[in-house]
Amino acid sequence: MSQKIGIVGSGLIGRSWAMLFAASEFSVAIYDVIHENVDTALVDIQAQLNNLESKGLLRGKINVKQQFALISKANTLEECLQNAIHVQECVFEDLELKKKVFRELDSIASDDIVLCSSTSCILPSLFQVDLKHRAQAIVGHPVNPPYFIPLVEVIPNKHTDPEIVKRTRALFTTIGQKPVVIKKEINGFVGNRIQFAILSETYRLIEDDVISVEDVDTVMADGFGLRWAFMGPWETAHLNATGMKEYFEKYRKSMSSVCHDFGPVPTFEGKGADIMVKEMHKRIPVEDLPERRKWRDERLIALSQLKKKLDH
Amino acid sequence: MSQKIGIVGSGLIGRSWAMLFAASEFSVAIYDVIHENVDTALVDIQAQLNNLESKGLLRGKINVKQQFALISKANTLEECLQNAIHVQECVFEDLELKKKVFRELDSIASDDIVLCSSTSCILPSLFQVDLKHRAQAIVGHPVNPPYFIPLVEVIPNKHTDPEIVKRTRALFTTIGQKPVVIKKEINGFVGNRIQFAILSETYRLIEDDVISVEDVDTVMADGFGLRWAFMGPWETAHLNATGMKEYFEKYRKSMSSVCHDFGPVPTFEGKGADIMVKEMHKRIPVEDLPERRKWRDERLIALSQLKKKLDH
């Protein structure tokens, strides 16, 4: 008998989680406050699974029919959570809504289910408050598209039991994702802090007419991004010297001096923003975005397949 | 008759440039102050070309024999520069040495040769000074390994003729690299500023025990790095919203607030550095670095091939 996962919210992220868990042979019950949305989600999930199989991209050891059979509709939140070991909340990014959903989950949760939110930016202690089961509550933030980008940021709230952190990390590892633990709540978690550090510094450089928007993107996509598809920044540094010790000895002064040179935090409006908006909307007009996202996803899929091949 | 490129310095970077130019049917003359070093370099270049061919990775439309025949030894700097359209300086990263080499180049340069340095970190106006031909001098900084990472940072000095900037950018494009122009001299150019922005922020997070070194590397290599192998940070943002305009409207406040939260520039010594050194040297001991670099290069090669395939 499969272990059961509850999914609350049947949008894009909820569907992705359902597919990831079913591929690893968990049974999945999806609940949505608008019940009919789950029917739509199930139709879409079946289509997505068939499409993945036809391209040889289906995850897991069981076939589409078996995977799809593991996913069902829950008509009530109680039904969704009953006998589940973990519930993954995937509702809109709205603090009040998250608070409400967590109060509801709290009122029916057993003492050993994990109550996990998919939030990309709301600190868990802001909505996992005044709960009987707050020690079982946590965040597991996926990156889009989770089927091909394995990172999950796991963030405990101030009261989360360390055992729940371990269980959550282990569960995500079991389904083939790559969880990391953000040990203290922090704005932007870690992924967005890295993104914003880059956006902020390059924003200043573009605004100061040091480099064009397009050239910044080239520095990444034809330069450093190639390494970072395989190795993080610290391994990159370690390999670029005779190890980390020598790296610091050689570069600590220039690292520090360059960082002191960064200038004030931008407001991200005014001259710089105008340049960015103008250039990006010219390069890829809004009406071409869906096509370009398809272009991106094809590449993410191909890279994910390449990495699997190289690692075996 | 092929156009001629001079290479000054026969180390790893000089050899890479020689192969890139020869693959695009330029004739290449390599000069080294220690003349015998060029003989060693030529033997190595032939071995590298044969190895690339055997793996189906050779660039260009002509074969190894034809490419190798285009590369020769120059016995004097005069011979290296004679009739060349561009000379690529690849000596050690030492300011006084670069000054000396540029004075020598200046004394024999014609009025239309480009005098280009491969420096990764020295601002061009620091060593391209007091030169008769300073308007023809510039920097073209490659990324290792240039055969598989196409980025070249082009940095004019304060007096570089805009036509020379254009010519240099066009030349690097001709040989299949991806040049970007850093319009104003700035410490770290752009690539290292991006690297250091990430290292600096994640250093603070690791030192503050928010996340482990290994998990930071996972955030990149199993998360954001996958996107950045294909798209720069600005295109990523543009695609993550309904265009850049909406991205700023939605996220400008949280971007700014997260960046204000970054904390002081680290000195990169003390507690944080100790953690990093300990963890990295445990994860990949110094004696295993050559093997891990091989692992990295295999992946960079495979990704480079994948991107070529996807773009055709």
**Does the structure show a pLDDT above 80 at B244?**
yes
Helix (H, G, I), strand (E, B) or coil at B86: strand
Cα B20 to chain centroid, rounded: 13
Are β-strands B151-156 and B137-142 bridged in parallel, bridged antiparallel, or unpaired?
Answer: antiparallel
If asked whether residues A166 and A216 sit together in one domain, one would say no
If asked whether residues A50 and A79 sit together in one domain, one would say yes
End-to-end Cα separation, chain A, in angstroms? 30
Helix (H, G, I), strand (E, B) or coil at B307: helix
Helix (H, G, I), strand (E, B) or coil at B25: coil
Report, as an integer, the average pLDDT of B235-250: 96
Q: What single-letter DSSP state applies at residue B269?
A: -
Model pLDDT for residues A121-178, shown as the tens digit of each residue: 999 999 999 999 999 999 999 999 999 999 999 999 999 999 999 999 999 999 999 9
- Kindly determine whether residue A256 and residue B266, on different chains, have CB atoms separated by under 8 Å: yes
Half-sphere exposure at residue A118, Cβ-oriented, CA atoms within 13 angstroms: 26
Phi then psi for B200, rounded to 5 degrees?
-65, -50
If asked whether residues B177 and B195 sit together in one domain, one would say no
Model pLDDT for residues B175-217, shown as the tens digit of each residue: 999 999 999 999 999 999 999 999 999 999 999 999 999 999 9
If asked whether residues A104 and A196 sit together in one domain, one would say no
Number of folded domains in chain A? 2
A234: chain B residues, CB-CB within 8 Å: 199, 202, 213, 216-217, 276, 280
For the purposes of burial, counting CB atoms within 10 Å of the CB of A290, is it exposed (0-12), middle (13-18) or buried (19 or more)?
exposed
Q: Specify if B186 maps to a domain.
A: no
- Kindly determine whether residue B210 and residue A184, on different chains, have CB atoms separated by under 8 Å: yes
Secondary structure (H, E, C), chain A = CCCEEEEECCCHHHHHHHHHHHHCCCEEEEECCCHHHHHHHHHHHHHHHHHHHHCCCCCCCCCHHHHHHCEEECCCHHHHHCCEEEEEECCCCCHHHHHHHHHHHHHHCCCCCEEEECCCCCCHHHHCCCCCCHHHEEEEEECCCCCCCCEEEEEECCCCCHHHHHHHHHHHHHCCCEEEECCCCCCCCCHHHHHHHHHHHHHHHHHCCCCCHHHHHHHHHHHHHHHHCCCCHHHHHHHHCCCHHHHHHHHHHHHHHHHHCCCCCCCCCCHHHHHHHHHHHHHCCHHHHHHHHHHHHHHHHHHHHHHHHHCC
Measured in angstroms, the CA of B249 and the nearest CA of chain A are apart by: 9
- State the pLDDT at residue A180: 98
- Report yes or no: A17 and A98 within 8 Å, Cβ to Cβ: no
| A-B contacts at Cβ under 8 angstroms | 371
- Report yes or no: B11 and B34 within 8 Å, Cβ to Cβ: no
- The residue out of B162, B181, B200 marking a domain boundary is B181
Q: What's the domain range around A256?
A: 191-310
Query: Alpha-carbon distance B8 to B28, whole Å?
Result: 11
Q: Specify if A119 maps to a domain.
A: yes
- Kindly determine whether residue B255 and residue A200, on different chains, have CB atoms separated by under 8 Å: yes
Q: Specify if A55 maps to a domain.
A: yes
CATH number, residue A80:
3.40.50.720
The average confidence (pLDDT) of chain B is 97
The beta-carbon neighbor of A310 closest among B184, B192, B299 is B299
**Both tokens of residue A185?**
């709540």
If asked whether residues A225 and A201 sit together in one domain, one would say yes
Q: What chain A residue is nearest to B198 in terms of C-alpha separation?
A: A194
Report, as an integer, the average pLDDT of A44-73: 97
Model pLDDT for residues A211-261, shown as the tens digit of each residue: 999 999 999 999 999 999 999 999 999 999 999 999 999 999 999 999 999
If asked whether residues B96 and B126 sit together in one domain, one would say yes
Amino acid type, A7:
I
Report, as an integer, the average pLDDT of B81-92: 98
- What angle (nearest 5°) sits at the alpha carbon of residue A229, between those of residues A223 and A233? 75
Report, as an integer, the average pLDDT of A103-114: 97
Does B145 sit behind a cis peptide bond, omega within 30 degrees of 0 on the bond before it? yes
- Report yes or no: B241 and B247 within 8 Å, Cβ to Cβ: yes
Residue A50: other Cβ atoms inside 10 A: 14
Q: Specify if A186 maps to a domain.
A: no
A303: chain B residues, CB-CB within 8 Å: 226, 229-230, 303, 306
Query: Alpha-carbon distance A190 to A227, whole Å?
Result: 19
Q: What percent of chain B has pLDDT over 70?
A: 100
Query: Alpha-carbon distance A224 to B153, whole Å?
Result: 12
If asked whether residues B125 and B253 sit together in one domain, one would say no
Q: What chain A residue is nearest to B149 in terms of C-alpha separation?
A: A223
A280: chain B residues, CB-CB within 8 Å: 234-235, 238, 243-244
If asked whether residues B32 and B54 sit together in one domain, one would say yes
Model pLDDT for residues A254-274, shown as the tens digit of each residue: 999 999 999 999 999 999 999
A156: chain B residues, CB-CB within 8 Å: none
The average confidence (pLDDT) of chain A is 97
A218: chain B residues, CB-CB within 8 Å: 151, 178, 180, 232
Measured in angstroms, the CA of B67 and the nearest CA of chain A are apart by: 25
Model pLDDT for residues B224-234, shown as the tens digit of each residue: 999 999 999 99
Interface predicted TM-score (ipTM)? 0.97
Q: What chain A residue is nearest to B291 in terms of C-alpha separation?
A: A239
Q: Specify if B35 maps to a domain.
A: yes
CATH number, residue B259:
1.10.1040.10
Query: Alpha-carbon distance B288 to B4, whole Å?
Result: 40
Q: Specify if B240 maps to a domain.
A: yes
Model pLDDT for residues A82-95, shown as the tens digit of each residue: 999 999 999 999 99
Q: What chain A residue is nearest to B187 in terms of C-alpha separation?
A: A258
B277: chain A residues, CB-CB within 8 Å: 243-245, 248
- State the pLDDT at residue B312: 82
Query: Alpha-carbon distance A260 to B268, whole Å?
Result: 13
If asked whether residues A238 and A274 sit together in one domain, one would say yes
Measured in angstroms, the CA of A309 and the nearest CA of chain B are apart by: 10
If asked whether residues A174 and A52 sit together in one domain, one would say yes
- State the pLDDT at residue A312: 83
If asked whether residues B66 and B172 sit together in one domain, one would say yes
A225: chain B residues, CB-CB within 8 Å: 225, 227-232
Does B142 sit behind a cis peptide bond, omega within 30 degrees of 0 on the bond before it? no
Model pLDDT for residues B117-150, shown as the tens digit of each residue: 999 999 999 999 999 999 999 999 999 999 999 9
Long-range contacts of B107-110 (CB under 8 A, 24+ apart): B108/B77, B108/B78, B108/B81, B109/B81, B109/B133, B109/B136, B110/B81
If asked whether residues A168 and A245 sit together in one domain, one would say no
**Does the structure show a pLDDT above 80 at A1?**
no
Q: What chain B residue is nearest to A276 in terms of C-alpha separation?
A: B244
Q: What percent of chain A has pLDDT over 70?
A: 100
User: Which of B152, B186, B212, B239 to probe the A interface (max A CBs under 10 A)?
Assistant: B239
Q: Specify if A265 maps to a domain.
A: yes
- State the pLDDT at residue A189: 97
State the sign of the Cα–Cα–Cα–Cα dihedral B50, B312, B21, B179: negative
- The residue out of A141, A160, A181 marking a domain boundary is A181
**Does the structure show a pLDDT above 90 at A12?**
yes
Q: Specify if A124 maps to a domain.
A: yes
- The residue out of B148, B181, B214 marking a domain boundary is B181
CA distances from residue A178 to A151, A171, B221, B282 in whole angstroms, order as listed: 5, 10, 10, 21
